[in-house]
Structure 1
Amino acid sequence: MSEREILTNYVYKIVASIIQNGVEDVVISPGSRSTPLAYAFASTKDIQVYRQVDERSAAFFALGLAKAKQKPVVLLCTSGTAAANYYPAIVEAKYSRIPLIVITADRPHELREVGAPQAINQINLYGEHVKWSADFPIPDDAKQTLPFVERHIARGVNIAKSSPLGPVHFNIPFREPLLIDFNEQLPLATFKGSFIGEITPTEETKKLLINIMNETNKGLIVVGELALGTDLRYIWDFIRKVKWPVLVESLSNMRAKIPDDCKQYIITTYDALLKSEPYREKVVADTIIRFGAQPVSKFLTIFITNSMPTNYIVIDEDPMFRDSSSVSTHLINASIGKWLSELQIELEINNDYFSIWRANEDMAIKHIAKHVESETDEGAVVRSLLEQLPDGSDLFVSSSMPIRDIDTFLIPTDRDIQIFANRGANGIDGVMSTALGFSHGRSDRQLFLLIGDLAFLHDVNALIATRYQPCNITVIVLNNDGGGIFSYLSQSTIKEYYEDLFGTPTALQFEQVAIMYDMEYIQVNKLVEMKGIFNSERTNPLRLIEVFTDRQENVAAHRRLWQQIHSEMKQ
């Protein structure tokens, strides 16, 4: 068999195995050493190919696509620093539990660490930020090679798909020449399939949970961002039985289309309420049950840490459970599933405790809803945006202030509005790229991106992807000329260095960026201009709305809102 035939068989076996294990999408950045695999993917009809020349952006694009489709996505690049540019997105994928199949092409073994061009040490390049890493053999005609490759692909995809979801890395070396023969049919699979079970608690664990809840006088449920594919029906069933106040983060997507018989239990304004120390002391709980990740709210974390509940039960699909405050008392290692609906429990409401939460939630919602009438800050802009989002919309949100404003100003709605963000590592890098990838994974829904000016600048290269495949997105940039979140922190009190080190103003506006990428551009200078902004018919699938705001005004308006809420609190 010729070298070209061996190489052809090798790369098509990889592609066939990836498809056999349920992968539907690949994001490719161009490069020489990855040529054989790029050709094999591009010539295969059973997998969707996306392109992005910037590897850093490509990796976040793949992450967004995997997040939206709730399935692994392949990421392919050439050797050298191209592979290193994947690192930020891989870190995010690990901590946000997103399945990525990262394939880095490599120089052959004889060109490693000898000064060859575009050759860096790629073995275990991503360290502990991937769930598993494998260095593949050079393509050859040994009988064991293709069966080994096929099963290693199955292992990697299964590891990425098993709880907790996350990235895996295949490093694949190729010798020149790099051209292949194009095959119309993929090779038949000899490995037939994998079957991954659901993680459920034992009967003994379920009895323990029931006993703790039966003995609880003051109980709370906290719901953060949930694992991909979570069926919310099981949590709603649990809430109906338990009848405790439920603090739901915006990223839980449990603030929209709440079942009627669960609405009374849902608390969305907890961050504003828990900013009050007397209130935190008043609502100390005996038992807290948390589903999903730790929510964004700093004051919820302070509340849990300071109150040290007798029982703080974390329900997590990963035995390496998340507990940044180190106050958890129990882990239930389980996925959210049918077992929650089957729990034989029916609790009575503690009317006094429940009423405090309910009354203050209702009061705070009124103030938040009226904020758009009395203020013109970013909070009012966000509230106006949330009021106008069309039914069936997805809102992707940047870290820093945008996600905090969404958490504050998203009150319960009957519209189908879902919120997403990169909250694994909480960075502002790659947000645009992730949103663009996400838009392809849920193309049946309208996607809006809410982002600050620095985060937008940090990832403006993401828009290169719009030149290679159709994209549909509305980007709302809150331009306060700098890092707005620092205005709320202690750094803002050191005036001498604040603007240079934290405010970091750029004096940039983005109309020319919109022109460069053929985007519709809308400039908003006053809050009144936000009204009806989504009513007009769209002729361009790419839209950039730049909203100019003032950092100092934002801080003052937010603090007025919190003061109004605290002044009317019922203790």
Structure 2
Amino acid sequence: MTSSRRPFREFDDSYDAESLRMARRVVRGLTMSMQHIVVAPGSRSAPLAYALREAEELGAITVHIRIDERSAAFTALGLAMATGRPTGVVTTSGTAAGNLLPAVMEAELSGVPLAVITADRPEELHGTGANQTTWQQGMFAGRVRDEVHLEQSDILEGHLRLEPASRDDLMAVETQVGLLMRQATASSATSVPGPVHLNIGFRDPLVPTGISSTQQALQRWARKPFLPAEDRETAAPQQRIDDADLGTFRTAFVFGHDAPAVAVGLAQQLGHPILAEPSSGARWSDTGAVQGYRLLLQAPEGSAAAELREQVQRVVVVGRPTLTRPVQQLIRRRDVQAVQYAPRRLAWSDERLPRRSLRELDELAEFAGRAPAGWQEAWQEKGIAAQRMIDAALGEQEQLSSVRAAQFVAETVRTPLLLGSSSVIRDVDLAAALTRPAAEPGAGVGATGVGGAVGAAADRGAEDRRIYALRGVSGIDGNLSAAAGVALHRQRRVTALVGDLTFLHDLNTLLVPSTEERPHLDIVVINDGGGAIFDQLEHGEVGRRRGNQQVVERFFGTPQSVEIEQLVIGFGHEHRRAETVQDLEAALAGPDDRVGVRVIEVRTDRAPLRDFHAELTARAAEL
């Protein structure tokens, strides 16, 4: 390798194997912006493991070890969700790399800066039948914001540099990795945060040469992140728009997953109702969100609620609504004009989005207009009535149902909460009044249960009441691992509320190596013995036709009779069973007094759910 300038050397590890030297430069590039990295063990990725161990000892990064690659990837996803900064997952070559795809898909459509780092066999071994060798370059093409392949042989050939000619030498390993991490967090009108892929072809030897601990202590080579944790981006300040010259329209603001918070203030200022999904961040008392909104949207024709719904002239969509058909039906009504508020490019949309996108608040205000007198109040009044109707229907149940359990957990828990995909997040969307005050230990079920005070201010802080969810692809895989990642970053207890199939699908979250810190995680499992969501869809109606019940149950309900308690104890964690709301209250009390992972199992019957939802919709005729 030749250069017209002297190499820019900040440390000297020329004594070591070239694979280790390359790995250190990779890690330096990562730690410019990365706080956490998750490693799944493997031989070809060993240079990265040794380099990361050194970097962790130097205080430059926190390393987490997981055995299963898919669980490792979703744990990294959860860490990236919590920090808003790139988080890495490292695997060896072969099928290990393939196990990262589900997390990459979720990160792509949810705009999460996940860095997947795959070790590869050197190019000369490809096509030779060498063990654990497959073509990994471009394996996530079309799903990552950018990708870089580094080949160790390129160093010898002069196409890649370990010792850069300058700090910004584009041929240097560290620079290429640092620039790739910038692509993971780029956010503008034309770019959006998301996953990136770094593939590295390592040659033998893959282990460090002998070096004394004294010499190693002098090699302070690792970079600490440029931005400390406290400098992370905060919520955008509210901006007041001059509404003196705006038109008057009956507009509804629909807040979906990951909605920009600044739109809440505009909706309040203009006097429009806010219909907010649980993971939108807009479903709190201080936002004026409409309670029981889903029941209002599905109220039968001829009801007062339906008449209110029919008066909507315009809809502003903020974030990504994914949970219910009544919301989509409102957005797509032929007599309604709908726009998407998107101050930055959306991770999940392109030019085919059927509604117009608006980037500026003043444009949005002009579209939404000022609400006529009493418009917001009418929605809020009907919403309170709908919430009371939902509470009353749940109060009539003889046994604890999945809907009641989900409602209670969402309203009561005093930690950050991750809602699993499938039924539970929809149950929370339907029934939970997040405006109720969270219960204190021993406060009694009446504080938050059926008939509790609706409209009271929530007593949780913004971070305590934050709700996470994987709504990019909305799959059930990786939900527990993502919750564990959030808990590892926050260094405090997090609650995950999931169904039984979601729990079993991500069971390896419970497999934490004994050398590793266990996340402080409560997992509330609604165990109804299968997939309840399908019975709420068209398949439930098909299953009620003569001769179809067993077919639908087999292919969609997928019944299971796993003893979750035995599984949890086998993994070395605590298990509790809750049969009543009082049991749940006791289990969730005092979250700061517990450490490690604990599973709270709530056994329910999914058979009556379809009739419950039908009866609730019928009652909505009275709204």
Normalised by the size of structure 2, how large is the TM-score? 0.79
Gap change, CA 1:536 and 1:137, over 3 Å in 2 = closer
Does 2:135 align with 1:121?
Answer: yes
Matched, 1:463 2:510: yes
Query: What SS does the corresponding residue of 1:561 show, helix, strand or coil?
Result: helix
Aligned mates of 1:490, 1:52 — CA distance in 2: 39
Helix, strand or coil for the counterpart of 1:306?
Answer: coil
Matched, 1:423 2:437: no
**Distance in 2 between the 1:325 and 1:547 partners?**
42
Asked if 2 retains the 8 angstrom alpha-carbon contact of 1:221 and 1:247, the reply is yes
Q: Where does 1:469-484 land on structure 2 (aligned, <5 Å)?
A: 469-484=517-532
Q: Is the 8 A contact 2:248 2:372 kept in 1?
A: no
- In structure 2, the partner of 1:28 is 39
Matched, 1:225 2:254: no
Displacement after TM superposition at 1:240 (Å): 3.4
Question: Structure 1 306/503 Cα, relative in aligned 2: closer, same or farther at 3 Å?
Answer: same
Please say if 1:245 is aligned against 2:273. Answer: yes
CA drift at 1:542: 2.1
2:205 corresponds to which residue? 177
Structure-2 change in CA distance of 1:332 and 1:155 (3 Å):
farther
Comparing 33-42 with 240-249, which one deviates more in the overlay? 240-249
Q: 1:251 to 1:536 in 2, by over 3 A?
A: closer
Moved more, 477-486 or 286-295: 286-295
* Aligned residue identity for 1:507: S
Q: Which residue of 2 aligns with 1:63?
A: 77
Q: Distance in 2 between matches of 1:365 and 1:382?
A: 15
User: In 2 relative to 1, CA 242–186 (structure 1 residues): closer, same or farther, beyond 3 Å?
Assistant: farther
Corresponding letter in the other structure for 1:158: R
Deviation string 1:371-416 (CA, Å, 9 cap, x unpaired) is: 44222321111222234323xx111111110110111122123132
Q: 1:324 to 1:6 in 2, by over 3 A?
A: closer
Structure 2 residue matching 1:13: 3-state secondary structure: helix
**1:235–1:213 distance in 2 versus 1, CA, 3 Å:** farther
Percentage of matched positions with identical amino acids: 28
Residues 110, 321 of structure 1: alpha-carbon distance in 2 compared, 3 angstrom cutoff: closer
The 1:113/1:300 distance shift into structure 2, 3 A limit, reads: same
Q: CA deviation at 1:93?
A: 0.8
3-state SS, counterpart of residue 552 of structure 1: coil
CA deviation string 1:31-71 (max 9, x = no partner): 00001111001111210000101001100111011111111
How many residues of Structure 1 are paired with residues of Structure 2 in the alignment?
A: 537
Q: Which residue does the alignment assign to 2:604?
A: 549
Mapping for residues 486-501 of structure 1, pairs under 5 Å: 486-492=534-540, 493=542, 494-501=548-555
Question: 1:161 Cα deviation (Å)?
Answer: 0.3
Partner SS for 1:322:
coil
Q: What's the Cα RMSD here? A: 3.2
Q: Does structure 1 retain, via aligned residues, the 8 Å contact 2:264–2:282?
A: no
> Of residues 148, 152, 170 in structure 2, which corresponds to 1:134?
148
Match of 1:76 among 90, 94, 106: 90
Secondary structure of the corresponding residue to residue 405 of structure 2? helix
1:308–1:327 Cα contact (<8 Å) kept = no
Find 1:318's aligned residue among 339, 345, 359: 345
SS of the residue 1:449 aligns to: strand
Task: Find 2:381's aligned residue among 347, 354, 359.
Answer: 359
Partner-residue secondary structure (3-state), 2:329:
helix
Return the letter of the residue paired with 1:156: L
Indicate the residue corresponding to 2:408 in structure 1.
Answer: 384
Aligned-partner Cα distance in 2 for 1:543–1:306: 45
* Aligned CA distance change for structure 1 residues 320 and 157 (closer, same or farther; 3 Å): closer
Q: Is the 8 A contact 1:289 1:315 kept in 2?
A: no
CA 1:332–1:405: 2 relative to 1, 3 Å: same
Q: Does the residue aligned with 1:136 lie in a helix, a strand or coil? A: strand
1:208-357 aligned at under 5 Å gives the runs 214-226=246-258, 232=261, 234-256=262-284, 258-259=285-286, 262-263=287-288, 266-276=289-299, 278=301, 279=305, 282-284=308-310, 285-318=312-345, 322=349, 327-328=354-355, 330-333=356-359, 348-351=370-373, 353-357=375-379
Q: Does 1:49 pair with 2:63?
A: yes
Residue 570 of structure 2: aligned partner: 516
Q: Is the 8 A contact 2:258 2:319 kept in 1?
A: yes
In structure 2, list runs of 5 or more residues that go unmatched.
1-12, 165-170, 228-232, 234-238, 437-457, 543-547
Which of residues 15, 18, 22 is equivalent to 1:10? 22
Deviations 1:499-542 (A, max 9, x none): 11111111112111221122222122344533433236855532
Gaps of 5+ in 1: 199-205
CA displacement 1:281-322 (0-9 Å, x = unmatched): 642433222221124222100111124523424325216763
In structure 2, what is the Cα distance between the partners aligned to 1:387 and 1:296? 19
